[in-house]
Amino acid sequence: GAVVSQHPSWVICKSGTSVKIECRSLDFQATTMFWYRQFPKQSLMLMATSNEGSKATYEQGVEKDKFLINHASLTLSTLTVTSAHPEDSSFYICSASPTGQDTYEQYFGPGTRLTVT
């Protein structure tokens, strides 16, 4: 149980285009989902906390207009990287916290590797 999927697994896009990444909780409902970014040889960096039906909470230094988050249902959150640039190339990981449990109990998706050329 507690499976989280991400789509796509990897994506290559041209500079200036937008990319949408989906995060789904497959066998549980998740009021809260998290989006992380990880650069090579670095630790996870929390980008934003996404709550179903409300606006996401972004961490300091993360541009909310560039990284659009939508959490329209209890099983789906999306991250859209708008006007992507090569410096946005990274490993993006989502996690989901089952509804009713403490939000530090997170189940991770497999990640999406974004390469912007």
Partner 1 sequence: GQNIDQPTEMTATEGAIVQINCTYQTSGFNGLFWYQQHAGEAPTFLSYNVLDGLEEKGRFSSFLSRSKGYSYLLLKELQMKDSASYLCAVVDSNYQLIWGAGTKLIIKP
Q: Which of 7, 20, 22, 44 binds partner 1 (CB under 8 A)?
A: 44
108 binds partner 1 (CB under 8 A): yes
Task: Give 99-107's long-range contacts (Cβ < 8 A, gap of 24+).
Answer: 99/28, 99/29, 99/30, 99/31, 99/74, 103/32, 103/49, 106/34, 107/2, 107/3, 107/4, 107/25
**Does 46 help bind partner 1 (rule: CB under 8 A)?**
yes
Asked whether position 110 contacts partner 1 by CB under 8 A, the answer is: yes
Q: Which is nearer to partner 1, 34 or 67 (CB)?
A: 34
Q: Which stretch binds partner 1 (CB under 8 A): 13-21, 40-48, 68-76, 79-87?
A: 40-48
The residue (of 60 and 65) whose beta carbon lies closer to partner 1 is 60
Residue 64 CB, nearest distance to partner 1 (Å)?
19
